[in-house]
């Protein structure tokens, strides 16, 4: 089985940097995804890590340590539009785990 933990809520100020952590336990690992979900909308893909290290894409970066079962999403130069829920998801190796197992999401509020 798979278990994913991430903080429920975070608050940050416009222009600042925020780090959203995710820890996971899984019997087989085949990638970790971060999705952004605005209220009332569908999740949209942000980033993907399958090897250890940092992946950078504009203002967003994601880090993975497979040995520690740990990832974080780093958001720089925060904007008001970044207020959303951020979902950490893990893909396993077989059966239903080849689909995604999601954490409960971290609701980020960006204040002016």
Partner 1 sequence: NAGVTQTPKFQVLKTGQSMTLQCAQDMNHEYMSWYRQDPGMGLRLIHYSVGAGITDQGEVPNGYNVSRSTTEDFPLRLLSAAPSQTSVYFCASSYSSTSGRAKNIQYFGAGTRLSVL
Residue 21's CB is within 10 A of a number of other CB atoms, namely 15
Tell me: does residue 42 bind partner 1 (CB under 8 A): yes
Would you list the DSSP string of 14-35? TT--EEEEEEEEESS---EEEE
Tell me: does residue 69 bind partner 1 (CB under 8 A): no
Write the burial class of residue 83 (CB in 10 Å: 0-12 exposed, 13-18 middle, 19+ buried): middle
Query: Stretches 13-21, 45-53, 56-64, 70-78: which one binds partner 1 (CB under 8 A)?
Result: 45-53
Query: Stretches 16-24, 65-73, 75-83, 100-108: which one binds partner 1 (CB under 8 A)?
Result: 100-108
Residues that bind partner 1 (CB under 8 A): 8, 30-31, 33, 41-45, 48, 50, 87, 89, 91, 95-96, 98-105
């Amino acid at each position: 089985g798979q278990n994913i933990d991430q903080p429920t809520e975070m608050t940050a100020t416009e222009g600042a940097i925020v780090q959203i952590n995710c820890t996971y336990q899984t019997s087989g690992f085949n990638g970790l995804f971060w999705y952004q979900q605005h209220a009332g909308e569908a999740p949209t893909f942000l980033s993907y890590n399958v090897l250890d290290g940092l992946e950078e894409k504009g203002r967003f970066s994601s880090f993975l340590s497979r040995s520690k079962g740990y990832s974080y999403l780093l958001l720089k130069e925060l904007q008001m539009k970044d207020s959303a829920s951020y979902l950490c998801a893990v893909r396993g190796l077989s059966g239903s785990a080849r689909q995604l197992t999601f954490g409960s999401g971290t609701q980020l509020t960006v204040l002016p």
